[in-house]
Structure 1
Amino acid sequence: MPKKNHEKARGLKNSVFNLAETGLILVAVPLIFQLVLSFQLSDALSKIEKQTLSRLRSTAIISAASQVSLHFYSIASLLTLFRFTRDPAIADGYRNGKQAAKESGNYLIELTRDRPDQRERAEKVVSLGEEAAAIISEFERPMEMGVTAVLEAPRVRREINRIFVPIITELDTLVKQERQRLTGEQPDFDLLFKLMCVGFIANLFLSGFLALFFSRSIISRIDRLTANLRSCAERGELAPNLQGRDEFVNLDKAFHRMNDSLTAIESRKREFVAMINHDLRTPLTTLQYVVALALKGSYGEFSEDEKTRLAQQEEKLIELVDYINEFLADEKKESEARKSVDDKHEGTH
């Protein structure tokens, strides 16, 4: 094998993984990275979801608190209006307003179920509202009769104001805290976007690095096998055995075993050719000359029958020597052709 290929062979690193393990790494490492990234994204999405739901809950609480406040103001306005008009429709309006205020208060309690401080305020508002409703119910009948409405009105107004002020105060405090919560809890969509971008880019680089690393290792080992196969075909010297435990090592060992077998066969062939040349052709040629001399009478006269047999033997010897000469000539041509190819291959490198 050319010197250049031997230098490459010395610089080739051993393979730690076989092809199955390499494929597993190429699939598993990016997959594990994706799973870790998925957990991070899931955690970020969970936080954003909680923050979004919290904001929606705060918005709903503020709306419900506003509705409760409006209902109480509406009740007070309708009650004052009824005092002067005695209109049954207005009476039905503030009765419906009491029921709506109660329902809105219960809904507010339900919305604040997982916020203890706010729930306590909502329950206090509902309790005060029920107390105000009881006072109004006591005043309804005299007010409808118009008998003691004038005398009872100032007392009822004071009682209602005594209750309405804490209600409005609690509702204002509740709304203020929920608005502060809305201001403080902002879903971090920027973090989610950054995680997605960083994860995508990092996974891209990781997959590319692994693919490049293993592809270079595999290609270099395939190049070694190709060079050894070419050298084996040209009967050149093979590079040293690959080291490691992958499938290419087994294939390279098979090439070396095949090359050793071919070398042994060529050695035996050369021995066979040498044996034919020295141990067979020379004696047969000598024997051919002896038979030819005998037929010419150099060793005395032979009978006709003996001459006939000697002539037959001479033909067989000539034919056998011709076969041997043809075989040796063909072998010489093959050797010269291999030498020419080797010289040409060396010249290209």
Structure 2
Amino acid sequence: MTLSLGKKALILVAVPLVFELGFVASFAYLVNQVDRERAREAHARDVAGHLNILLRLVMERSSSLIVSHFTSRETFRRRADAAKKRFYKEKEIITGLVADNPHEKESWDKIYKLMDDGDRFFDHAKTMVDIGNKLAAGMEMVKVNRLMADVFQAIDHLVEEQEAETQETKKKQAEVRAQIEILIYAAVFLNILLAVGLALSFNRSTAQRLKVLLDNTYKVASQQPLSAPLRGDDELAHLDRTFRKMADALASMRRKESAILTSAADIICSLDEERRFTQVNPAASKQWGYESDDLIGRRLDQLVDEADLKTTIDHINTIIETKGHGAFTNRIVIENGEERDCEWSIVWSNEEKSLMCVVHDITERKQIDQMKRDFVAMVSHDLRTPLTSIQMVHSLLAAGAYGDLNDDGKESVQGAQDSCDRLITLVNDLLDLERMESGRMDLSLDSIPLSDIIKPSINMVANAIKQKKIELILDSSIDPVVRADKERMIQVLINLIANAVKFSPENSTLQITSDSDDKFAIVRVKDEGRGVPESMRSSIFERFKQVKKSDSKERKGSGLGLAISKAIVELHGGQIGVEPVEGKGSTFFFSLPIADKKNPEQT
């Protein structure tokens, strides 16, 4: 069973702590023993010292009495009295010292009794001296000397016992000191042994497991197989299992990424700051004819068409300097010498210090666009002349140049004329569209009142307004001077009004208003038709876009009018848009720049 990290930490703390507490307790016990032995030694010295003092006082008192007996001097008598007082004091001290030791107390009690008897003999001898009976005094002193010999012998015996005890306590102190030294050395050794043992155990059970986790991180980074899973149920084992799940997810992501890169139709590559290829997917072989190994380390400059080289380098340098992203097109010279038009989408990676590129081959798209332009140009020019001729014949037939027509004939001619007009309008729209895409739509700008655009436009669609019985409300109280191409802007406004009439119900209202600020004049065309859905506010201005697919048949529209109108307005520097409220009509608007009064000839 593998212990958790928390339990291991508890063991690392608890084991040394228990050991230290045991060491401290043993050390305290030995120190206490030393203190007890020192106390015994001090006690023995005190008892022996006071016994020696007591002996000296006994001898001093005896000698003073003997001298005073023979000399009758008062000095020796007083000295004997002083020694007696000190003698009693020492007796009390010794009695207190031996009170707690039964053996010493027993020996001292014997000495004390002998000394009391001797003290009575001393007092009797002193009395005999005082009354002048020196013989009796001498006899008492003899008794004192005999008794003192027993006292001295008993005191010497007790002193010897105290000295023996002192030696014994010193010996025991030496033994305890040796035990303390052994304990310290043993504690140091065991502490080192315990630290090494715990360290080895931790290293084997934890550090090595951590090393496995660390090695696995390097193996994941280098995409190598991971080490064997860690056993157990501790935190490291849980971490290892979580890490393996993450590694499996990363491996799955790498496989998916590799599959995407391998199967991607577009070329996906990375360039360093010197525009050298560092990684290329297999699509380069299919599109450019170069194997990935042939491109890695090669500069992009060697593949770009010379005419596009400078702009390509400028685009890439700008992306690197801004550490951002960008897109551009250029031509690449492929392995067989052909040129391919390519669209580059590039992002700078600050972590990798590389450009991450996606290259889309647009050669076929450009060819198709060119074919479309050629087709539109061909159809437009080839249809325009015969349609004009047909229109003229219809006009002559309608005018009766070839004789009067009955009602059915007139109706047929009018229908053919309407169809021819729609075809001519479609051809003109296609020609305008081709001019816009090729950048050949020129404007003849002039400073004109806004009313010069609005009034002719209304006149051109007056019949259609009248036929649907639509009430026209014109608010042109403001008539700013704008800078515009009159004919082109009339074309735009006719288109907006015609659309409004086309999608408005009969007996509805059509409102045309104008407004201006310091920079732009704004014209609005508001109808009461079905409106434009919010989702189509932008897309309705694209080519061939209708609100409903059926509008091209039911409303007879080509879907080019708004796209052409948007291009014309934007060429003027204005904007065009719609403010829809679906189901409640639409308000289309466009803006034109106000003419500069100081410089009316601006272009």
TM-score using structure 2 length: 0.42
User: Superposed, which structure 2 residues align to 1:59-70 within 5 Å?
Assistant: 59-70=45-56
The answer for the alignment partner of 1:102 in structure 2 is 88
> Which residue matches 2:533?
none
1:149 aligns with 2:103: no
1:15 Cα deviation (Å)? 4.3
Contact map agreement 1:71 1:101 (CA 8 A) in 2: yes
Unmatched 5+ stretches in structure 1: 1-13, 297-301, 313-349
Partners in 2 of 1:106 and 1:124 — Cα distance? 15
CA-to-aligned-CA distance 1:15-52 (integer Å, 9 cap, x gap): 4341x333332232222112111111111111122112
- Once the two structures are superposed, residues 301-324 of structure 1 have per-residue CA deviations (whole angstroms, 9 ceiling, x without a partner) of x96689x99xx9xxxxxxxxxxxx
Note if 1:120 corresponds to 2:106. Answer: yes
Q: Using the alignment, how far apart are the partners of 1:303 and 1:223 within structure 2?
A: 77
**What whole-Å deviation, never above 9, does each CA across 1:150-175 have from its counterpart, x for those lacking one?**
2x124312431343233222212211
2:225 to 226, 234, 237: 237
The one-letter code matched in structure 2 to 1:21 is K
1:271 CA drift (Å): 5.9
Residues in 2 aligned to 1:271 and 1:246: alpha-carbon distance in whole angstroms: 38
1:14-25 alignment to 2 at 5 Å? 15-18=2-5, 20-25=6-11
Query: Does 2:100 correspond to 1:131?
Result: no
How far the C-alpha of 1:143 sits from its partner, in A, is: 0.8
Unpaired segments ≥5 residues, structure 2: 266-282, 284-360, 373-377, 381-426, 438-603
Change in Cα spacing, 1:124 to 1:99, as seen in structure 2 (3 Å) is: farther
C-alpha contact 2:122 2:141 (8 A) present in aligned 1: no
TM, length-normalised to structure 1: 0.70
- Partner Cα distance (2:117, 2:53) in 1: 19
Distance in structure 1 (CA, Å) of the matches to 2:204 and 2:70: 97
After superposition, the C-alpha distances for 1:148-202 in whole angstroms (9 at most, x for unaligned) are 222x124312431343233222212211222222233311222221211221122
Partners of 2:73 and 2:142 in 1: how far apart?
23
Check if 1:247 corresponds to 2:231: no
SS in structure 2 at match of 1:242: coil
Q: Give the equivalent residue in structure 2 for 1:219.
A: 207
Kindly report the root-mean-square deviation, in angstroms, between the aligned alpha carbons of the 2 structures: 3.6
Separation in 2, partners of 1:139, 1:154: 7
2:161 alignment partner in structure 1: 177
Q: Letter of the aligned partner of 1:264 in structure 2?
A: S
* Secondary structure at 2:186 match in 1: helix
Cα distance in 1 between the residues matched to 2:192 and 2:263? 67
Alignment of 1:144-293 (within 5 A): 144-146=130-132, 148-150=133-135, 152-185=136-169, 186=171, 187=173, 188=175, 189-269=177-257
DSSP 3-state at the match of 2:147: helix
- Give the structure with the larger strand fraction: 2
Separation (CA, whole Å) in 2 of partners of 1:138 and 1:51: 44
Which stretch has the larger CA shift, 242-251 or 71-80?
Answer: 242-251
Q: Deviations over 1:188-233 (max 9, x none)?
A: 2222212112211221222133223313543322221122112222
| Structure with bigger gyration radius | 2
Code of the aligned partner of 1:178: Q
After superposition, give the CA deviation of every residue in 1:220-257 in whole Å (9 maximum; x if it has no partner): 22221122112222333222321234433233222211
Distance 1:276 1:49 in 2: 91
Quote the Cα distance in structure 1 between the aligned partners of 2:63 and 2:79: 10
Aligned residue pairs total 286
- Structure possessing the higher relative contact order (Cα contacts under 8 Å, 6 or more residues apart): 1
User: Which deviations, in whole Å up to 9, do the C-alpha atoms of 1:32-81 show, x marking residues without a partner?
Assistant: 11211111111111112211211121112111111111211211111111
- 2:125 and 2:138 mapped to 1: Cα distance? 11
- Matches of 1:262 and 1:217, distance apart in 2: 28
1:110 deviates by 1.6
Partner of 2:67: 81
Determine if contact 1:105/1:125 at 8 Å carries over to the other structure.
Answer: no
The alignment-based identity, stated in percent, is 19
